[in-house]
Structure 1
Amino acid sequence: MDILITVIYLILFIVMMVFVFSIGMLKQYMPKREVVLVLVVAFLIGSIGGAFFLDPIYDELPSVISAIEKTMPNNEETLYLDLSSSVNINELKNKLNSTDGFKSFDEKSITIPMWSFNEREHDYFDRIVGNIDSHYKSHYINSSEIQITLEENYTSAQALKSFSDWYKLVYGGTISYAQVHAVLVVDSSALDRFEEILLEDGIVASKIEGPIQDSINNTNSSMLSNIEFTLICGGVGVVVALMGIYIDSVVPKYRKFRKVLREKRKR
């Protein structure tokens, strides 16, 4: 939502509150029992105004907070990426590296889909995978996948090739696919630009960590629901109506109070 629309929505809500205030000022011309009706109407007008004009602005609050975080110097965002091994990772890395705001890109691990292991096969792979390549930092075997954590500066392509060579030697088949888990670190101010670059290749971060994401999560967790916010706007309408109802009695008392203060100062 741009600034112009935001200002228009705020003005329209204020106009509605002025109308509610005006209705309240008509109290002296109506029976006392009609005051309840005025308050009900004020609540409805406030709720409708909140739902149509203020709620869209309220929903933009996380975006506003994140925009502020983007302006802070030295903030960094960490993007966790799950890539297909068919992606040209070197080309992707070069593209990211040439973009302002780039910090680092590391291939952390690969997940190789297999078949549903029985207990004997699970124990066998758990025992043998660590000996296939000395650059395998660690490994984890679940019921149908093998996850291999890579040493620093060791690429997923190298890890997949070494595993595929071993698999071909032992089983006579080939392994040509794996899911690559990488971590991209960028300046917070450049997050949107890097997300666009990734999206061009059909890549969406599985998780983002950093000040921007933290601010969005914290704001979302503390925000009221749309219904709660609308009810509060209705309450604002009631308060404004009450101000209109009692303005005739408050203003004379306020003027009298100021007169008393002036007289005391003269003494």
Structure 2
Amino acid sequence: MMVFVFSIGMIRRYMPRREILLVLAVAFLIGAIGGAFFLQPIYEEVPDLASSFEKSMPNNKETLYLDLSSSVDTDALRRDVSAMEGFKSFDETSISIPMWHFNEVEHDYFEEIVGNIDSNYKNYNVTSDRINIELADNYTSTEALKTFSDWFKLVYGETLSYAQIHAVLVVDSSHLDDFEKALLDKGIVASSIEGPVQNTVNNTNSSMLSNLEFTLVCGGVGVIVALIGIYMDSVVPAYRRFRKSMKTKRKR
């Protein structure tokens, strides 16, 4: 496409002088279209290319933070990911239990009682409509949800319909793509990722042009190429004269 733009610039001398603006407008349009449809997909791959070095480092690790539904079989998930190459660790860190909107009395009651339900609740906090419980080491979300659910049914006569499980998966950076695909096959997407690979991707993304900016830059390149074509007849002879004068000076 740039060859075509250059050619348009070259034939400008056969057009009326006032048509130069039309030539530049067409060059900008062609450059912008080429950038948007042909170069943009390649440009979007830059973060992945930039992170390839970090993926090749043997000791790099990535930490994936997972927010799972209580319907997910975390024991099966643990078995599946632990069998994969590059697995480091999988820990269930906490659970979040959505509740109704508490009034002040109910809020104070749960603040006082939750810690007495199970000694394996490492820490907890109660918001206006949710109870967040941090789990002790080697204590699973299944066990924590069961004790809370049993207590809730005993006191309120109802069962819990939903809860959220928070887990942390640590993997070798070189196998990050494999784990992301395996999780996606189960309908799970990490809420956030931390590590050298993700840091490189984030830093690269923050320094990249937006789609509109990239398209405008490509349009500008088209204009520059067209200008080179337009003034090629004067630039080339001037360059040759410059080289000839330099050779003459050297002989002297």
TM-score with structure 1 length normalisation?
0.84
**1:82-102: CA deviations, max 9, x gaps?**
223333222211211111111
Give the superposed CA RMSD.
Answer: 2.3
Amino acid at match of 2:16: P
Q: Give the C-alpha shift of residue 39 in structure 1.
A: 1.9
1:158 lines up with 2:152 in the alignment: no
SS at 1:33 equivalent: helix
Residue correspondences, number: 252
**1:121-157: CA deviations, max 9, x gaps?**
2101101211222221111112232111012222212
Q: Give the C-alpha shift of residue 176 in structure 1.
A: 7.1
Counterpart CA distance in 2 for 1:157 and 1:30 is: 78
Q: Give the C-alpha shift of residue 265 in structure 1.
A: 2.2
For the structure 1 residues 200 and 256, does the alpha-carbon distance in structure 2 shift closer, same or farther, using more than 3 Å as the test? closer
1:111 lines up with 2:99 in the alignment: no
For the structure 1 residues 74 and 35, does the alpha-carbon distance in structure 2 shift closer, same or farther, using more than 3 Å as the test? same
2:128 is matched with 143
TM-score with structure 2 length normalisation?
0.88
For residue 186 of structure 1, the aligned residue among 148, 152, 171 is 171
Alignment of 1:1-267 (within 5 A): 16-175=1-160, 177-267=162-252
1:164–1:176 Cα contact (<8 Å) kept = no
Gaps of 5+ in 1: 1-15
For the structure 1 residues 198 and 40, does the alpha-carbon distance in structure 2 shift closer, same or farther, using more than 3 Å as the test? closer
Q: Give the C-alpha shift of residue 170 in structure 1.
A: 4.0
1:96–1:194 Cα contact (<8 Å) kept = yes
Of stretches 210-219 and 104-113 in structure 1, the one that deviates more from structure 2 is 210-219
Q: Give the C-alpha shift of residue 172 in structure 1.
A: 5.0
SS at 1:106 equivalent: strand
Counterpart CA distance in 1 for 2:181 and 2:150 is: 36
**1:188-241: CA deviations, max 9, x gaps?**
221121122223332222222223333333333333232222222121111111
Gaps of 5+ in 2: none
1:42–1:237 Cα contact (<8 Å) kept = yes
